[in-house]
Structure 1
């Protein structure tokens, strides 16, 4: 019965966040105004700046920020116990992620759709911009390189997911063309979801594999190359053609998946076998504080969300008030996925006894995605009567599709960053979208195969940095929003308090990890970790200087739009 209480606690909390807290922040703090001309209208170009229906844009934003992280993080962090993980997911969604995502979207839209890196120049200063963009580029590099590995591993480990994953692209292209011709959204949504689930059913009996050795590379490495070739093309297409409909249909697919999972909880009412607080962790397990707060990022708060909010979503915002629906509700959707993941990996559908659960979660890092798929598929099968094989394929496809949409958006965002560098430093050839895309993909492949050899798994080399770096980026994004609010003469405590908490936890985690990398002699991670920590300190000092000057001359600062 504990699972029901977890679900009810999460649903009630997130409903409060949506109906009460987000409305207060949007109306009283951000003061969103539909009379404001958004960049999608002011700079409309039919490729990147495209006014978009808020439901379709929510689908893009939600699936871009979700990826596999709200599954992976909670499925690992439950090792410390389900209570701290649930509390961080629920309260993080309400007071951290929703405000962070909506705030980044709003601030970017108020500055012609600039990314958070470029926006930091307008709000804080030029030096901050250069420092900020180092962290942004590093996070994007890690996400793109690693998600390529995650999808490739999923294709090799679950070949039943290959056919539906690629079929989703074809479905999205068709829907994009029909939406462009003003075909009503609702029937397209229904038909698209039906077709997508039909391909999942077909995929469960039609596995697709690559040769284990082709062009001198293994199957995983070839999948990585194919995925980046696709991502390069996808990042250059107009957003209405593939990005929006692919993300939207994936968002609808996730909603169906969430309904199946949450509904099964109410039907089955499974007990929780995981400990509320794990007092039997193995020796040398990292402390829950601060590591919990960087292990669960997406699903509580994540710096990557700020990149998406200010990178692609702000350029497609039709009306400013849509930012609440897209940004805050996108965070609520992701928090819901993290919450049901915790139920799936904590209950009897994964392990029938506490002893069996401890065998699966023998150490921090055990379980993860496989635990979610196993526990979730058993839950769906028991609650709805679906064969376990189909339920397992459904969840595996969900993970792959989310990782794929994040990779799509990630490469496009990396292209934006490179083009912004071209404008800032007057490097004209980088302004070219094709050149910028090739540069972005080239960096990812260089990391993948340069650091990982023929396996293409080089992104995993620097992946240990992601947790603390990503959360430091979230705190820096909240800092930029806070400084902007202060300059406007508005209360900033609703962003400053989350910023300080996230920064302290992420910085502390970064210092702990730095010691681990030093002891292991991993000098690449030592150097990169030091760079991120130093950059965060410098940005904070720059911001404090601006805040001090703003308080000294408030009237001059409030003249800004």
Structure 2
């Protein structure tokens, strides 16, 4: 089958999601109100709460939630075959991710920009809030520690990506200042993207690298430290100064990248060489059900999106109706990236034939970002006539910039969580932005170097927990939204049914992993996995109790009337 058929199927589905389904959810279920005063206006402080143009905010939200996950997950999951991957990405984006992301943004906006963990107290109860925040902090710890490794590995493996990655920060700082002076967004966008691509071209000649060993650490470990120092500084700056313009420019850069990739599919019409359903899996390969639904998270549905939507994006929403554009369209952007990743790693651009594909994908863990960079670069160079070296630097920079923006937002979100703990438990010192940031970064570095030694790759030790934990958090976020809808007397099936499906698949995946960790003798992961599973059960029981009590009170009031 030609990759163009997959693209047409996926894009048609995403268009239906945007023009039909998202409009229905926004108008009939969430009932977004253009006159509602958002936290960005009510609590405007010029640092975290800042009313923002919806296009700029979309760029921030999209690049923060995307990271490398919509590339890595699908590029690994295709081992089971490209058909299940394509179906989950397409239908997951339409009926799960978009509803989840827009819903988290709406729910937080209705509760003064509180994080999904903090607002769970308003919706369900105090005990739920404490349990929620444990899962959220653990997930952020994983994301930040691991993405530091991902970026550092990319810098070491592709030195040409270093210059454009840091140049993007300089460009963003300049654009942030000019936007405050009311310069045209369109002109700044064009100039920013042009400079960014010129820097990518320059990166093919300017290869920057650290010494193999410095201060007794490897180049990768030193990059990890540098990245966390940068993330700490970036997380304390006003959002308009760096976070917004950097994410927006990165979003525009991705759109150009997607145009190149999708255009390459239409120009070259590559044949799919990977099997539709893989019947030659290696011994010990995990079952496709339920693992497919946690392997592909970003690109279908992801709990991390709810943290970003309720953490940073809700504090910048200019109008409540912008939640559809920012949240649902952000999910569609990520789904489109996941879709083209599947084509890139399963087509003739990546492997000459089916036998060669099986040789490359010898086991379940094969693939990932390197496969996307290799397959995507071959696709672009073959269709557009670019050199393959430039195309590889372009895609490697895209991965690094995405991971970097997610890391920026992740550290800021960790700071929010710690400050919320300060408010909740009366720990005054944690209310300080600087102290909370230092605690967040030190926690990440402690995991990176405490568990990983001098390599700084300690985050990888607990990363196997990410898939199930992330999706359990997505189900809990949908649970909070569902309870809100029930209390408001609105239809809740559109969030309840996705919540049930995601909870079942992610809980089963967590149980499967629990057994695997025990058999491997990895008792740290056994303990953490067990905690996450118990927390999810307790939150569900709390929510069921609240809904039952609410319905009984409603029925009693109706009888008295």
Please tell me the TM-score bracket, short chain as reference: over 0.9
- 1:427-506 to 2 correspondence within 5 Å? 427-506=427-506
* Equivalent position of 1:33 in the other structure: 33
TM-score normalized by structure 1?
A: 0.99
* Equivalent position of 1:296 in the other structure: 296
* Equivalent position of 2:9 in the other structure: 9
- 1:302-451 to 2 correspondence within 5 Å? 302-451=302-451
Contact 1:148 1:228 in 2 (8 A): yes
* Equivalent position of 1:52 in the other structure: 52
* Equivalent position of 2:144 in the other structure: 144
Contact 1:451 1:461 in 2 (8 A): yes
- 1:68-467 to 2 correspondence within 5 Å? 68-467=68-467
Structure 1 unaligned residues grouped into runs of 5+: none
Cα 1:428–1:555, aligned 2, differ >3 Å: closer, same or farther?
farther
Please give the secondary structure, in 1, of the residue aligned with 2:413: helix
Q: CA deviation at 1:557?
A: 11
Contact 1:144 1:444 in 2 (8 A): yes
* Equivalent position of 1:535 in the other structure: 535
Distance 1:321 1:386 in 2: 41
Q: CA deviation at 1:499?
A: 0.4
Distance 1:63 1:553 in 2: 43
Contact 1:378 1:388 in 2 (8 A): yes
Q: CA deviation at 1:555?
A: 8.3
Distance 1:171 1:88 in 2: 37
Contact 1:159 1:208 in 2 (8 A): yes
Distance 1:91 1:269 in 2: 24
* Equivalent position of 1:515 in the other structure: 515
What count of residue pairs does the alignment treat as equivalent?
558
- 1:543-558 to 2 correspondence within 5 Å? 543-554=543-554
Q: CA deviation at 1:460?
A: 0.4
Q: Name whichever of 485-494 and 545-554 sits farther off.
A: 545-554
For residues 95-144 of structure 1, give each alpha carbon's deviation from its aligned partner in whole angstroms, at most 9, with x where no partner exists.
Answer: 00000000000000000000000010000000000001000000000000
Distance 1:28 1:2 in 2: 39
* Equivalent position of 2:18 in the other structure: 18
Please give the secondary structure, in 2, of the residue aligned with 1:553: helix
Cα 1:556–1:57, aligned 2, differ >3 Å: closer, same or farther?
farther
For residues 205-250 of structure 1, give each alpha carbon's deviation from its aligned partner in whole angstroms, at most 9, with x where no partner exists.
Answer: 1110101111111111100000000000000000000000000000
Please give the secondary structure, in 2, of the residue aligned with 1:484: helix
Distance 2:113 2:347 in 1: 43
Contact 1:450 1:458 in 2 (8 A): yes
Q: CA deviation at 1:556?
A: 10
For residues 396-446 of structure 1, give each alpha carbon's deviation from its aligned partner in whole angstroms, at most 9, with x where no partner exists.
Answer: 000000000000000000000000000000101100000000000000000
Contact 1:82 1:342 in 2 (8 A): yes
Contact 1:260 1:380 in 2 (8 A): yes
Structure 2 unaligned residues grouped into runs of 5+: none
Distance 2:548 2:315 in 1: 32
Distance 1:80 1:498 in 2: 23
Distance 1:109 1:129 in 2: 17
Cα 1:166–1:557, aligned 2, differ >3 Å: closer, same or farther?
farther
Contact 1:489 1:554 in 2 (8 A): no
TM-score normalized by structure 2?
A: 0.99
Please give the secondary structure, in 2, of the residue aligned with 1:452: helix
Distance 2:134 2:112 in 1: 21
Cα 1:265–1:541, aligned 2, differ >3 Å: closer, same or farther?
same
